[in-house]
Chains A and B, each alone.
Chain A
């Protein structure tokens, strides 16, 4: 099978493709959402019920999302390879004799990684005991697989967006913004052990956040053709987490494992999302008005804007989240503790204030990370803006 496609085989690609949004873009978006919802649900399950099997609905939501993404992309690869039009073959990349858009390959890789993590995780539980930590080697393989599905979704909509001219393009742009938001949610979940409101007066939280979110927000901003791309992605992230925060506690549940120090009666929700829309809005505003040519200068400005706005927002908002004013269904204050969390004043205090206070050095490091992250985000976003396959 030839990997090369000669130019004369290819027709007027963009016009042919822009007629309607292909179903697999929606399938990937639905799959990504199912995975993230499943992951948040699973964390809640472990915090509330504790006891689980492979067949909990939370696990099924994750694996069904992975299978949906993997099978849609697999179908796309087979169709492009064996029954694709010249245009479709032209807008694909070759891999081991097959052809498919880049995003499909990334999603297929993600699905295989997700499936690989299942027996690995099972062995891990048998060897070292049941889940004690979110971050373990098999969970990292799972997370890499999930990342593959979400990146695949992102890349497929990108290729369509960057080639498109027709009426469906707007919807695909929204799909891209949506996938970017799901991607932010995934990374926020991965570092959730450092994300509690109680940790938001210590330097480590700002260092991690400043290293992580600018790259994602700027990649979304540069890659997207939306008017407010970073804000859109941040809003999607916030709405996803907030929706789970509002929905999960509606379901009664009780711990099936002990020792129980916290008698929860309903599914434990995630903490209120980070207020990423605030720095994201600042980034969008800055990018719309910036005229400088150097990405290094731009990254310095954007990094500083993210750092300042994020610090201002989270510093005060976390105080609110620890206060009695937040103890309601909307903000979920003091409702995030799992069944094995002992009661005590520590729930209403900022942690690590002695070891890791907000120091000039700690915040300086965060600012540096913000700059580097922003620079990488600009580079990655610049590449994404040019992806055509």
Chain B
């Protein structure tokens, strides 16, 4: 019955965001647990408490048991329930699945343990437990509830009327006019009382709903602005959310920020509506609430700001705002602009729709080719790109902030934004925080210790949450230069 009801009930889509994600909550993990290469997909429930769907793919044939365990950041494995056995999925020998209950709001990690003849290993996958959706009542369910409610209401009145009219009459005695009138009076009075009870119930339901909505995930509010400093444009970002500013001792909802690959904030700028100009910047923290960053030579216009941050708890979120970027100043204003971060980068391409080619020129004859397959909404896919040098041979990729590549994805209307690594769609800082004391023998694919990777290929695990037109920016490092390619994708509807 639950399945039917779940199907009956439809979701009211509400824009939401978790780390690196607007509108895409599925978490991907590509890496290994001890000797086993694994791919993990976690679909968070969208309600708290709720059940997350976890699938684990282990290609190795000598795997015995795979278990999954939800661990809340502040309770650790000591406070975690016993691990659940992930059950093999019929028809696919490499796939296992399990349902896990996330009972509380906040930062969780899923511990995936793999045992087999090659030994055992454990991976830690960060997951944010947040309420992101609100369920409506569809017509069928509404009619069912209304019908049963009416039956109970009328039934209760009729029973109360009958009780008042003749319950105390000796058996066989027919109620006289006075008793019948009494029955009618009781029905009228009870109708009034029951209506009041129902009104109270409605108010109660509304208050539960309001409390739920207040607890739904909202990223911290930020305000951004651009000012001229020296001959530069400087973007200023202030976290001005009361939930962040009014931190009560012992009751902090948000722990301080921690660096992700040495940066407290990874900021993406995308010019609207053409999605032609793009930047990946690393603002400098001035104090716990404010950040500054020197803008690269981007064209003027209205930009969306996506700022990825990770908290000490492992909780990660994407803060967003819109900002008007003016033309670069022609005269030098007083002051000194902050130095740009060496990992900052930007890219200007054709407007959305103009980058449909699977081959994007980078620089000096270097080309990135999207080994494109058909992309369908709601289906996990590995998006693979190959970088070729001017000689047509695969280029050697160098790690860019610890990763072989970075990909940003945005739907044309802004309802989806995601920042993905080859290792998956979670914050690497969150993983590091959550792995502490987790006894993990894990390693998501992390190329920071590699000098360079030959083959020139980089893949990103991702699932487009809905159909439509998307722009993808793929960033790699070749010859100590950060190179960005833009691609457009038309994602087919779910089958």
Q: Show the binding face of A for B, using Cβ within 8 Å.
A: 4-7, 9-10, 13, 50-51, 54, 86-87, 90-91, 93-96, 102, 105-106, 109, 112-113, 116, 118-120, 122-123, 126-130, 132, 136-137, 140, 155, 163, 254-261, 340, 383, 386-389
Contacts and interface: CB of A to CB of B under 8 A. Distances in A.
Contact of B144 (A50, A119, A130, A259): A119
Contacts of B151: 112
B192 interface: no
A112 B150 CA distance: 12
B336 interface: no
Contact of B173 (A7, A113, A120): A7
Contacts of A386: 168
A7 B171 CA distance: 9
A258 B103 contact: yes
Nearest to B74: A259
A381 to B, nearest CB: 13
A105 B162 contact: yes
20 contacts: A87-B172, A93-B162, A93-B167, A95-B158, A109-B152, A109-B156, A119-B141, A119-B144, A122-B2, A123-B5, A128-B208, A254-B82, A256-B101, A258-B79, A258-B81, A259-B72, A383-B168, A386-B168, A387-B167, A389-B166
B169 A388 contact: yes
B201 interface: yes
B4 to A, nearest CB: 9
Interface-central residue, A102, A259, A261, A340, by most chain B CB under 10 Å: A259
Given A6-B174, A116-B152, A136-B208, A126 B6 contact: yes
Contact of A93 (B9, B81, B163, B204): B163
B44 interface: no
A118 B155 CA distance: 19
Contacts of A389: 166-169, 171
Contact of A54 (B1, B47, B50, B166): B1
A257 B48 CA distance: 13
Interface string B145-180: 100110110011011001101111111111000000
A163 to B, nearest CB: 7
Contacts of B1: 54, 118-119, 122
B169 to A, nearest CB: 6
Contact of A112 (B71, B78, B144, B152): B152
A387 B104 CA distance: 50
A233 to B, nearest CB: 21
A130 B152 CA distance: 25
B137 interface: yes
B135 interface: yes
Interface of B: 1-2, 5-6, 9, 47-50, 70-72, 74-75, 78-82, 101, 103-104, 131, 134-135, 137, 141, 144-145, 148-149, 151-152, 155-156, 158-159, 162-163, 165-174, 201, 204-205, 208-209, 212
A102 B5 contact: no
B5 A5 contact: no
Contacts of B47: 126-129
A258 B168 contact: no
B208 A95 contact: no
A388 B175 CA distance: 13
B79 A102 contact: no
Contacts of B80: 258-260
Contacts of B79: 258-261
A255 B135 contact: no
Contacts of A105: 159, 162
Interface-central residue, B9, B131, B144, B167, by most chain A CB under 10 Å: B167
A51 B100 CA distance: 10
A255 B81 contact: yes
Given A127-B134, A259-B80, A7 B172 contact: yes
Contacts of A140: 201
A155 B162 CA distance: 13
Nearest to B133: A127
Contacts of B167: 93, 102, 155, 383, 387-389
B171 A90 contact: yes
A6 B171 CA distance: 11
Contacts of A90: 171-173
B143 to A, nearest CB: 12
Contacts of B131: 129
A255 B83 CA distance: 11
Interface-central residue, A96, A122, A256, A340, by most chain B CB under 10 Å: A122
B81 A256 contact: yes
A126 B166 contact: no
A114 to B, nearest CB: 11
Nearest to B137: A123
